[in-house]
Structures are given as C-alpha cells and as structure tokens.
C-alpha cells in the first residue's frame, strides 16, 4: 500500500478495445486496468459507459503506483 502520493500519469490515444470481464482497456499500445471506482466521461464531462468510447480518442488518468485507470475522458473532437 502506498501513502497515496496522488501522482497521475495521463495516457492518451485511441481506445481500441475494452474487456468487460477483465476490466482492461487498450489505449494506443498500452493495456490499462480500470480501478473499481473509475469514472468514465465524455468530452463534456458527462458520465458515459466505457463501451461508448471504444474507437474514440481518450485520455486515461492512471495512478503512478497502481497503474490503474481512475478516469477515462473522451478528447474533444
């Protein structure tokens, strides 16, 4: 367990795949596991389903230590 340094590492690219069973998504060449409480929002900040963002450009805010995705946000078109 980390002391929650709170450092976030953004990963940007096209969300090419989402595995609902494993809670993993593929952004560019990186595979990211979603945190249990991950927030998924469109470019306007409205909550959406992760499936709705597949094929779109997104930025995922990941925790530096756990490497888990904590927020997925669609990029503005």
pLDDT in tens, 10-44: 999 999 999 999 999 999 999 999 999 999 999 99
Residues 28/44, Cβ–Cβ less than 8 Å = no
Count of all residues that appear for the chain in the document: 77
pLDDT score at 29: 94
This prediction has a pTM of 0.89
Q: Which whole-number Å values give the CA distances from 42 to 6, 22, 57, 67, in the listed order?
A: 23, 22, 10, 22
Instruction: Look up tokens 């002391």; give the residue.
Output: 3
Instruction: Give strand pairing partners of 19.
Output: 24
Domains and CATH numbers, the chain: 8-74 (2.40.50.320)
Mean pLDDT, rounded, for 44-68: 96
């Amino acid at each position: 367990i980390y002391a929650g340094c709170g450092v976030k590492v953004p990963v940007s690219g096209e969300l090419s795949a989402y595995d609902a069973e494993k809670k993993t998504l593929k952004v560019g060449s990186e595979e990211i596991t979603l945190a249990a409480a991950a927030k998924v929002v469109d470019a306007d900040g409205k909550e959406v389903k992760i499936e709705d963002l597949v094929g779109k450009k997104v930025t995922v805010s990941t925790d530096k230590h756990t490497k888990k995705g904590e927020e997925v946000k669609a990029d503005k078109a």
